[in-house]
Structure 1
Amino acid sequence: MTAGPETSSETPARASRIGRARWGIAGVIGVGMFVNYIDRVNLSVATPEIMRDFHVSAGQMGIISSAFLWTYAVLQMPIGSIIDRIGVRWVNRAAAALWAVGSFLSAAAGGLGLLLISRLILGIGEVPTVPAGWKAIGQWFPQHERGRATSIFDGCAKISNVVGIPVMAFLVTTFSWHAAFIFTGILSLLYLLVWWLLYLTPRQSLAKGRLGQAEFDYMRSGGAQDERVTGAGSLRGIGYLLRRRKTWGIAFGYAAYTYAYYVLLTWLPGYLGKQFGVNLLSGGVYTMIPWLIAVIAQFVFAGVVMDRWIKRTGNETKVRRIVLVTSMLVSLTVAGAAYAGSIVVALVFLSIGAAGLAVSNPAGATIIALVAPEGYTGSLGGIVNFIANLIGIAAPIVTGLVVDATGSFAGAFLVTGLVLIAGILCYTVVLGKVERMPAPAADQ
């Protein structure tokens, strides 16, 4: 049965009258995504200074940049099952504490060894963020509001680039690259406190009076998942999902987005500096432009427009496929930066490409809660994120090696374009119709 909005008759005015506690939760998980990605972007800004301090090549720095993804990718599948078994709340409490540990260890690094270890620890800590966020959105939001909720969640990652890159650049140039990691460590501790105090499941919020009965019923009638339903949380459940074609369609489609995103996240300041000779502080200001355009595009098109379109038509497959394919075609313009002769032209190509990537992400991510068997959203999210980041590991390494070999970023951007084309094919040909997969036989 196709998953469609069951509350298409609900108006925004009525939704407002019945309560908006769910949007507060969207804000809490969005802030977590903001801190999570600032923890990642600080290394990209600090890269030129670290390379000078430790006397390393672009290829070696690419390995350090990718180290975060080694643990982050490998642990995605087990963490998805753990989230399905014990829930979002406690997993993210432990995770946020590790964010702080990773950042403070990075600040203390006096060589590549400790820096590598700190990135591996940060990867472990940030493993649950995306699958837990997807699962929380599936539990807190009716289907026709998930585009906006996911846009808030993922948009905060892009906002971290808009705000974080110039702030990190200021800290690095004014103090040292160590200061950037101290700053993110403190942010992580503050977020741990916020999450600990504010995040509850829908039923816990209902029991404590933070969520009204009318809003709870509105969420559930619109397809919000019951947090009491748990999957097998075992290799059997993961094995079942890995045998489904839809799993691979979503995973490789999302992997194409992830590869392109990590190319921009890890190397954009370095690209502007190498190709156009801008200094670190100016590069930080220029770098925020593509991410700002991306945030605006994501909220407007992937959030408001997509949700309203789905609500009006009730056709999940058609709407999400059109948004996915169109936005990923637009994202191919990042390859145009390979031929840019000026920083203005480069920023135009990069801004359009980043906007396309930003719009594609909520369209792709919200499919996970729609096609996962009941109680298996975390497991499917873990599989998708595992495969995506396994491929994403290659992004900073390939980019660094191409730059070392050719002296420019042109080849790296062309490779990114080819990866995106492959992602479009996966989201269309391999994925097929957007509908919930049946549960494993023992759970039916």
Structure 2
Amino acid sequence: METSTVVAKKPGAAYPWIILALLSMGLLISFVDRTSLSSALADKHFVSDFGLTSVDRGWLNSAFFWTYGLMQLPMGWVVDRYGVKWPYTVCFAIWCVATAATGLVTALGALLLMRLLIGATEAVVIPASYRWIGNNFGENHKGFAVGLFAMGGKFGPAIGAPIAAWLIVNYSWKFMFLATGLVGMVWLMPWLFMVKNDFPSREELATAKRKASSVTLKNILSSPVVWGGMINNFCYGYFTFYCMTWMPAYLVEQRGLSLQKSGLFTFFSFAGIALMATFGGWAADRIIARGHNAVTVRKAFVVAGFIGGCTVLLGALTDSLQAALFWNVLSLSILGLATANNLALCKLTLIPKQAIGLTTGVQQLATSLAGGVSASLSGWLLHVSGNYDLPMMVIFVFLLIGATSTVVLLQPKWAPKVSDEAAPSPPVITEGSGIAKTAAH
């Protein structure tokens, strides 16, 4: 496994922290665009315009995730071989236009088509971003780097929910989609100016193809680490995507908040997980830098995050509005301890660098499935039970499964193997030791 202990110095990465900030902002914009529908679905005018039932709302919320999931592997393959800059640029422009076009549709079929298109093009974000981070940051920086990057995914819905609610209340749902889609296009200017191609020459492109091919899809799928990462991503994503897709409606319909106040408390929840994710990544990095084993440290943070997130059930079972809001915010915030460390562990620390894009694409299938299942299953459970208690009980069960998967499956001996025998033996981090050892073939 190709690792390093310092920030890499390579062409195109002269200012890695600035590029990381751009990637985080790109992730933020992607989450604003994908979650803007949630606020619209809590608006009675939007619901009446399309004649939506609770089941319809669940299917609309989930539509994004089906194409998002289907395109993960193709996008991972593309960025492993052709770099990050141009695939990201093209996809970014398409999803921003599709978001803006959502404000112009008048038929349910067209609305569904826009959601499917946004999902397909946003699929590039995670494989491309982790490919870039893996190439430019060493192990003692990965947790903090991933934490900063992940903040974009948390502040996206945190900022997007109240802004979308405000735009809907003061203008209309149509204006909200137009504004959020078009404003995001500004991001492309610094991205095109500052980021160079990952593989600028034909020789480097050929080398990149060879390295990416040294870890086969068969080897990836035979790794318990990859399956553990998929389980973790599903369990983590089930909770977070529930909050992105159903939290505004839950706060309005079951807790009696206004649409604007629901956006405010959605902001508190996602701001909490963003800050905790950054803290968790930074704290784990500092412990690892003192000589403690990277795998053991990150696993401890992941388990703590999953167990802490289980407090969401306390919010579901209380009759007090204040207590419900408290546990709602706290449970998602504590889950942040798992965010950066789970991502670093499953996508970087235990994965050969030459296969980060493909492996991330495979694992993101589970994340996408979590989004689709969470959105649609929660809608069905709401339909049959009449309240949000049962959907939150399902969240509790999945969080416990995620904690168990972390302990059992995420072990260095089960990391994906490099199939190219001509390649040098990769250093691996063994659990229980703070240093890298050479793997024997």
TM-score interval w.r.t. the shorter chain? 0.7 to 0.9
Query: Once the 2 structures are TM-superposed, how far is the Cα of residue 235 of structure 1 from its aligned partner?
Result: 12
Moved more, 399-408 or 409-418: 399-408
User: Who is 1:323 aligned against?
Assistant: 301
* Counterpart residue identity of residue 124, structure 2: P
Equivalent position SS for 1:376: helix
Once the two structures are superposed, residues 273-320 of structure 1 have per-residue CA deviations (whole angstroms, 9 ceiling, x without a partner) of: 0112212112111221111222221222x2321111111124111101
- 1:156 matched to 2:152? The reply is yes
User: Who is 1:220 aligned against?
Assistant: none
Once the two structures are superposed, residues 4-29 of structure 1 have per-residue CA deviations (whole angstroms, 9 ceiling, x without a partner) of: 8635xx9xxxx9xxx98211111110
Rounded Cα–Cα distance in structure 1 between residues aligned with 2:378 and 2:283: 34
Equivalent position SS for 2:274: helix
- 1:133 matched to 2:129? The reply is yes
Alignment of 1:340-351 (within 5 A): 340-351=318-329
Rounded Cα–Cα distance in structure 2 between residues aligned with 1:441 and 1:138: 20
Rounded Cα–Cα distance in structure 1 between residues aligned with 2:332 and 2:350: 27
Once the two structures are superposed, residues 165-189 of structure 1 have per-residue CA deviations (whole angstroms, 9 ceiling, x without a partner) of: 1111110011111112111211332
Q: CA RMSD in A?
A: 2.4
Once the two structures are superposed, residues 99-153 of structure 1 have per-residue CA deviations (whole angstroms, 9 ceiling, x without a partner) of: 1122022111112111100000000110010111111111111111111111111
Moved more, 121-130 or 285-294: 285-294
Rounded Cα–Cα distance in structure 1 between residues aligned with 2:59 and 2:399: 22
User: Could you tell me which of 25, 30, 35 is aligned with 2:19?
Assistant: 25
* Counterpart residue identity of residue 238, structure 1: L
User: Who is 1:380 aligned against?
Assistant: 359
User: Could you tell me which of 101, 104, 109 is aligned with 1:108?
Assistant: 104
Rounded Cα–Cα distance in structure 2 between residues aligned with 1:391 and 1:425: 17
Rounded Cα–Cα distance in structure 2 between residues aligned with 1:227 and 1:325: 40
* Counterpart residue identity of residue 323, structure 1: F
Rounded Cα–Cα distance in structure 1 between residues aligned with 2:14 and 2:302: 28
- 1:420 matched to 2:399? The reply is yes
User: Could you tell me which of 320, 333, 341 is aligned with 1:363?
Assistant: 341
User: Who is 1:198 aligned against?
Assistant: 194
* Counterpart residue identity of residue 119, structure 1: R
User: Could you tell me which of 331, 335, 338 is aligned with 1:353?
Assistant: 331
User: Who is 1:260 aligned against?
Assistant: 239
User: Who is 1:57 aligned against?
Assistant: 53
Once the two structures are superposed, residues 322-369 of structure 1 have per-residue CA deviations (whole angstroms, 9 ceiling, x without a partner) of: 001111110111222211323321121122211132221211111212
- 1:298 matched to 2:277? The reply is yes
CA change 1:330–1:410 in 2 (3 A) is same
Query: Once the 2 structures are TM-superposed, how far is the Cα of residue 200 of structure 1 from its aligned partner?
Result: 2.5
* Counterpart residue identity of residue 184, structure 1: T
Rounded Cα–Cα distance in structure 2 between residues aligned with 1:325 and 1:288: 25
Equivalent position SS for 2:52: coil
Please tell me whether the aligned partners of residues 83 and 198 of structure 2 are also in contact (alpha carbons under 8 angstroms): no
Instruction: Mark the runs of 5 or more structure 1 residues left unpaired by the alignment.
Output: 205-225
CA change 1:434–1:284 in 2 (3 A) is farther
* Counterpart residue identity of residue 140, structure 1: N
CA change 1:323–1:236 in 2 (3 A) is closer
Query: Once the 2 structures are TM-superposed, how far is the Cα of residue 230 of structure 1 from its aligned partner?
Result: 4.0
Once the two structures are superposed, residues 213-270 of structure 1 have per-residue CA deviations (whole angstroms, 9 ceiling, x without a partner) of: xxxxxxxxxxxxx996445657982222111111101111111101111100100010
User: Could you tell me which of 9, 33, 36 is aligned with 1:39?
Assistant: 33
Query: Once the 2 structures are TM-superposed, how far is the Cα of residue 374 of structure 1 from its aligned partner?
Result: 3.5
* Counterpart residue identity of residue 270, structure 2: W
CA change 1:174–1:150 in 2 (3 A) is same
Moved more, 42-51 or 168-177: 42-51
CA change 1:372–1:279 in 2 (3 A) is same
The share of aligned pairs that are identical, in percent, is 25
* Counterpart residue identity of residue 22, structure 2: V
Moved more, 61-70 or 416-425: 416-425
Please tell me whether the aligned partners of residues 230 and 376 of structure 1 are also in contact (alpha carbons under 8 angstroms): no
Rounded Cα–Cα distance in structure 1 between residues aligned with 2:32 and 2:207: 33
- 1:6 matched to 2:2? The reply is no
User: Who is 1:395 aligned against?
Assistant: 374
Alignment of 1:306-317 (within 5 A): 306-317=284-295
Q: How many residues align?
A: 412
* Counterpart residue identity of residue 239, structure 1: K
- 1:123 matched to 2:119? The reply is yes
Query: Once the 2 structures are TM-superposed, how far is the Cα of residue 435 of structure 1 from its aligned partner?
Result: 7.8
User: Who is 2:427 aligned against?
Assistant: none
Rounded Cα–Cα distance in structure 2 between residues aligned with 1:269 and 1:227: 48
* Counterpart residue identity of residue 344, structure 2: T
